[in-house]
Structure 1
Amino acid sequence: MTLTFRPIVDVSRDWLTLSDALPVAVHQRRMARAVMGQAIARVSEQMGVSAKDIKGRSRDKRVLSARWAVMRIGRESGLSYPSIAAHLNRDHTTVLHACKKMGIA
C-alpha cells in the first residue's frame, strides 16, 4: 500500500486571495452587528425588557425568554454561535445550549 500526498486545497487555482477574503469577513461582521442590533432592539421593545438586561447576567424568566428570542433570530439569520454569543456577552456554548433547547441546533 502506497500513501500519496494530495493537498487539501488546490493552490494552483487562484480562487480567493487574502485581499478578496478580508472584505468578505468585514462584510460578515457588519451584517452580524446589524442583524443582532435590530433583533435586540425589536425583542426589547416587544417584550418590555431593556437591551441592557438582554445583554446582562440576569436569569429572570422574562429576560431569558427575550434573550432566547434574540438567539433564535440570530441563528435563523444564519449567524454563527460565536457571533451571536459575542453580541450577547456570552460563550458560544451557551448559545448552542439554548438553540438545542429550542430545537433549532
Structure 2
Amino acid sequence: MNKLVMIGMTFLLLGANAQAQDFEMMQLAQNLGDVLASEEPCGLTYDQDAIAAFIADKVPADDMGFNSDLSTMTMGASYMFANMSGSQKTAHCAQTERVAKSYGFIQ
C-alpha cells in the first residue's frame, strides 16, 4: 500500500512540475510578446540575432506550443497598445526600452 501511495505522489509531483513549466513558458511568451509588439510603436529597432539567442537560451527546443503562444500574446499586446493613453504609452515604452536593453535586444 505504501508503495502505491508513493507512486501516486510521484505522478502528482511530476504533473505539478509539468504544469509549473507550462506556466513559466506561457509567462515567457506573454512577456516576450509584449516586448516584441512594442518595437515599432515605441520607435525601437531590435537586434534579430539577440532575439534568436534569447529564444535559444530560454525556450526548450521541443516546445511546439511556444510559437503559437507567442503569436497570441503578441497580437494581444498590439491590441492593448492601440488602446493606451499617452501617459500609459510613455510609461510602457520607457520600461520596454529598459527591458530590451537588459536582454541585448537594443544597445
TM-score, length-normalised on structure 1? 0.38
Greater relative contact order structure (CA < 8 Å, 6+ sep): 2
Structure showing the higher helix proportion among its residues: 2
TM, length-normalised to structure 2:
0.38
